[in-house]
Amino acid sequence: MKSILDQNFYELLEVQPDAPTDEIERAYQIAHSTYDTGSLALYSVFEEGDAVVLRERLDTAYRVLSDSASRREYDAAIAAECAEVDLEANGNNGGSVGPLEIELELPLEIEFEAEAEPQIIASSSVELGEFDDFEDDPEDTVYDGDRLRRARLRRELELEHIASITKITPTYLSFLEEDRFDDLPAPVYVRGFVTAYARCVGLDPALVARSYMERFESTAPPKRSRKKNLFARS
Amino acid sequence: MKTGSKKKGARTGTERAAPRLIALGGGKGGIGKTFLAANLSVALSRLGLEVVAVDADLEGSNLHTCLGVEPPPMSLADFVADREVDVGKLAAATSIPNLRLIAATHANLWSPQPSDEQRVALVGHLRKLPADIVLIDLGAGTHPAVMDYYLSADEGVVVFAPEPTSVENGYSFMRAAFYRGMHRWMSDEPLRDLIAQAMDQHNERGIRTPLDLLRAARALDPAGGRRLEKLVHRLRPRIILNEARSATDIKMGFAIKSVCLKYFGIEADYLGYVNHDDVVRKSVLARKPLVLSHPKSDAAIYVGRIARKLAAGSFRSKAVRPKARSNAPAPTHRKL
């Protein structure tokens, strides 16, 4: 049995690794209400500190798994990790789902907004229906940071507002807008960030992610330095 | 009754598989444990299963009242007082076909609870009862006797109501079951010591949660820690959410299941919910099981649903078992 910090995103959301998108959606809805502040089911078991960590992990898990591209990337990362563990530990850990040894390259000094009200960021949610009217950009539009910012300003949205919806820190959001690829985390997370950002500002997430990631990956250093792992086990 | 003929000869012992022991608890009083135990017993018996309902609540016995039967002349109190050593003889027939009751009335007020040895003997006797299901209605709280019955049973049902008091006591109940179960099933002495220390909630080792315990166990003895993790799987609480009034309440069963996994590291099943219904009070006032007095009410239908889920295990084992009894009554609603 693994502690919350060792569980991979599928284990966190309590779904099978091959779960379809709608099941992940449903699992997140349940997890979201279960671990929400003031949830009755948490009463007397989880301490608030543990619950905050858990909520952040669940949100990250959902952000990555709800987008098919970032999910594929994550799956590949898990598979690679499993193979590595198998080689190292002589099959001792050889389960179907590997432990989360994927480096979460979130620098320690940048923290999630703990007070921000977590919101469901799926395009299917009713609350965000207003964000779903996508701009009619041509297919081959290049979505760089500048374009993202313009879309945001057109909607008169503050970065903090997007941060509170997506639960991505404003610092990362501004890195996105400034194309500061070196300061951004691994591609798998950036894809999740871009997708969530695009949804908020009314752009087509798939188009934006494809275009943004193309530029991100072509300019990012091939072997990114491994930063301190926020969720490292002691 | 049929019991008489069944008891004759050693024949029954070879033909009959041991009954499934299902214990129903939940920590808090007044959340409907006894109501559910009574109605599930009736519903299970109406599915064609031989059921013995056991009132293990010697300090607050009223399973007989919920079942609407007169207090039987003999009860578990006679077993505790050593007046009757054969628990099988305490199982009194009820007016409901296939259902017998071991009551807990007229308990000794000075010392109602059985001794450790008597508890072990009691469970042994229950396992030998000629029945398909023995349903044990546990008292409130986490008294060692309550936890012993719960841990001895093949399946444990934990009842929750959607209110903080019940949630808190329900988790206390699960916590007690977790630590007591691990202590009971673990054979390695150093790890047993560790578990005993962890039961003190302000222990010096800083073990706060079941997961902390498993981590500490692994650090102490990796192989023993792995054995301990396997033992955790023996706990598989089945959750019933009683007195549901809204969709949010109903969803709480899933939330509790998730907390079981993330906090205790144990898989739980959400067996189902029973809605809050005024007819429940009416049935209790009329001292008649709801599933008989108001069979068409929503609450009775939900109870029936849970009973069918519980029964599924028995029907599976019945199918592989050689013909149990030729005079078994034809099952009425085997909708599975």
Q: What is the pLDDT of residue A228?
A: 44
B214 contacts in chain A (CB < 8 Å): 1
> Is the pLDDT assigned to residue A44 strictly greater than 80?
yes
Q: For residue A179, give how far its alpha carbon lies from the nearest alpha carbon of chain B (Å).
A: 38
> How far, in Å, CA of B154 to CA of B156, rounded?
7
Q: For residue B320, give how far its alpha carbon lies from the nearest alpha carbon of chain A (Å).
A: 32
Domain locations in chain A as residue ranges: 4-89, 126-219
Q: What is the pLDDT of residue A138?
A: 64
- Per residue in A124-137, pLDDT (tens digit) is 333 333 333 344 45
In a domain, B78, yes or no: yes
Q: For residue A30, give the chain B residue with the closest CA.
A: B255
- Per residue in B243-257, pLDDT (tens digit) is 999 888 888 999 999
Q: What is the pLDDT of residue B15?
A: 63
B232 contacts in chain A (CB < 8 Å): 1
What mean pLDDT is predicted for residues A59-66?
Answer: 92
Please tell me whether residue B71 adopts helix, strand or coil conformation.
Answer: coil
Length of chain B: 336
In angstroms, what CA-CA distances link B289 with A44, A76, B68, B103, B261? Answer: 34, 56, 7, 16, 34
Interchain pair B263, A45: CB under 8 A: yes
Cβ–Cβ contact B259 with A under 8 A: yes
Q: What is the pLDDT of residue A212?
A: 92
Highest mean pLDDT: which of A81-85, A86-90, B92-96, B197-201? B92-96
Q: For residue A233, give the chain B residue with the closest CA.
A: B215
B314 is written with which tokens? 């028995």
Of A170, A171, A159, nearest to A200 by C-alpha is A159
Say how many domains are in chain B: 1
In a domain, B234, yes or no: no
B263 contacts in chain A (CB < 8 Å): 45-46
Q: Are B35 and B137 in contact (CB under 8 A)?
A: no
Interchain pair B171, A44: CB under 8 A: yes
A31 contacts in chain B (CB < 8 Å): 258
Q: Show the domain range for B114.
A: 16-165+239-254+272-320
CB pairs under 8 A between A and B: 54
- Per residue in B166-184, pLDDT (tens digit) is 999 999 999 999 999 999 9
B265 contacts in chain A (CB < 8 Å): 1
Q: DSSP letters of B231-251?
A: HHTT---EEEEEEE-SHHHHH
DSSP state of B9: S
Interchain pair A34, B215: CB under 8 A: no
Q: For residue B135, give how far its alpha carbon lies from the nearest alpha carbon of chain A (Å).
A: 27
In a domain, B313, yes or no: yes
In a domain, B81, yes or no: yes
In a domain, B9, yes or no: no
Please state which architecture CATH assigns to domain A4-89: Orthogonal Bundle (1.10)
B162 contacts in chain A (CB < 8 Å): 40
Q: The domain spanning residue B105 has which CATH number?
A: 3.40.50.300
CATH class name, domain A126-219: mainly alpha
Count of other CB atoms within 10 angstroms of residue B187: 10
What is the maximal distance between C-alpha atoms in chain A?
56
Q: Are A23 and A66 in contact (CB under 8 A)?
A: no
Cβ–Cβ contact A31 with B under 8 A: yes
* B99-121 core/surface letters (b: 16 or more CB in 10 A; e: else): bbbbbbbbbeeeebbbeeebbee
What mean pLDDT is predicted for residues B10-17?
Answer: 56
Q: For residue A4, give the chain B residue with the closest CA.
A: B262
Phi-psi sector, B98: left (phi>0), alpha (psi -120 to 50), beta: left
Cβ–Cβ contact B218 with A under 8 A: no
Cβ–Cβ contact B312 with A under 8 A: no
Q: What is the pLDDT of residue B290?
A: 96
In a domain, B280, yes or no: yes
- Per residue in B202-257, pLDDT (tens digit) is 888 888 888 889 889 999 999 999 999 889 888 999 999 999 998 888 889 999 99
Tell me the percentage of chain A whose pLDDT exceeds 70. 69
A37 contacts in chain B (CB < 8 Å): none
Q: Are B209 and B171 in contact (CB under 8 A)?
A: no
B53 bridge partner residues? B101, B135
Q: What is the pLDDT of residue B212?
A: 86
Residues 6+ apart with CB under 8 A from A104: A60, A185, A189, A229, A230, A231
Facing B262 at nearest CB: one of A4, A39, A43: A4
> Mean of the per-residue pLDDT values for chain A?
74
Confidence of residue B119 (pLDDT cuts 50, 70, 90): very high
A72 is written with which tokens? 């594929």
Cβ–Cβ contact A69 with B under 8 A: no
Q: For residue B229, give the chain A residue with the closest CA.
A: A1
Q: What is the pLDDT of residue A158?
A: 83
B155 bridge partner residues? B22
What mean pLDDT is predicted for residues A138-164?
Answer: 82
In a domain, B263, yes or no: no
The residue of A28, A35, A36, A45 whose CB has the most chain B CBs within 10 angstroms, and thus the best one to mutate to test that interface, is A45
Could you give phi then psi for residue B108, rounded to 5 degrees? -65, 125
B261 is written with which tokens? 């996994």
